[in-house]
Structure formats: structure tokens, C-alpha cells
Homo-oligomer: A and B are copies of this chain.
Amino acid sequence: MPTSHYGQPRYRAIADELRKRIESGVVPLGTLLPAESALAIEFRASRGTIRQAIATLREIGLVTTEHGRGTCVNPDFTAHIPNPVDEKAKRQRRVAAEPELAALLKVEVGATLIEDQDVTCRERKVEAVVRTYRVLNNPTGYA
């Protein structure tokens, strides 16, 4: 039964409940959460929904998950600081074509180019910065 989710989706309610248990000490720091399959039975939800709930806890750094082992309550849990760096990093600007870019894109040196900047993250850390240069004409590149 996919239950109509009018107010709050189930995975969020489950995530809240798990967070409460951690913060209240029912599940001590540094210990493993019950297995996904066990939680699925307890909450009468599918494993996918449980995983979604746990994913939200992982995003705020409350737990860490290891393949084949389990989901561990982060012992370093003090205050989670969501990282706004992703949003800041994402931006678009116009730059003048330097010789190499100009040659590749077949425009004159100094022509206006669109530079899109994005970052790829891993484990909430910036892993790489990607800059894409296009001719001002067609942003999507789709003809």
C-alpha cells in the first residue's frame, strides 16, 4: 500500500523517529543501527523507504554507512553544519576567450564565452571543479 502521503512522507517520519532515538541516547553514539531489514519490519515499511530515511540522516552527517557492515551513529556528532559550498560554487559567468580556447571553439581571441562552473562532491567534500566553456550562441548545445 503506497499510502497517500498528504502531510509528511513516511521516510521523513521514520528519519525523525530515528533521529530522536539517537539524540535521546536510545541508540548510543558509535553503535550500529538495526539492520535495514529489521527496521523495515519494525516500521512496517519497505526496505527502500528505510534506506531513504537513513539517507537523510547520512546527509546531515548524523550517521555513516559501510557496505556489508551497517549504519553507524557518528561519534563525532556535535552540530551538523550543512555545506553551502556547493551552491556557492555553482555559477555562470562570461569570460574572454584566451588563445587556446579560441582555437578550439573557432572564435576570435577575446570573444565572449560562457563559463559554467560546477563541483563534484564525494563524502561532502569537493572532489573536483569542472569548468565548461561554450560559445555564447547556444547555451544548451542542442541544435
> What residues of chain A have their CB less than 8 Å away from a CB belonging to chain B?
7-8, 13, 16, 85, 89, 101, 104-106, 119-120, 122-123, 125-134, 140-143
Say how many copies of this protein the assembly contains. 2
Q: Least Cβ distance of A94 to chain B in Å?
A: 15
Contact call A143/B122, Cβ cutoff below 8 A: yes
Please indicate the chain B residues that have their CB under 8 angstroms from the CB of A142 in the complex.
7-8, 13, 16
> Are A141 and B119 also in contact (CB < 8 A) when A85-B104, A89-B104, A104-B89 are?
no
A104 to B127, CA, bound (A): 9
Contact call B130/A104, Cβ cutoff below 8 A: no
A88 to B118, CA, bound (A): 24
A134 to B132, CA, bound (A): 15
11 residue pairs of the A-B complex, CB under 8 angstroms, read: A7-B142, A8-B142, A16-B142, A104-B119, A105-B126, A106-B126, A120-B141, A128-B134, A130-B131, A131-B131, A131-B133
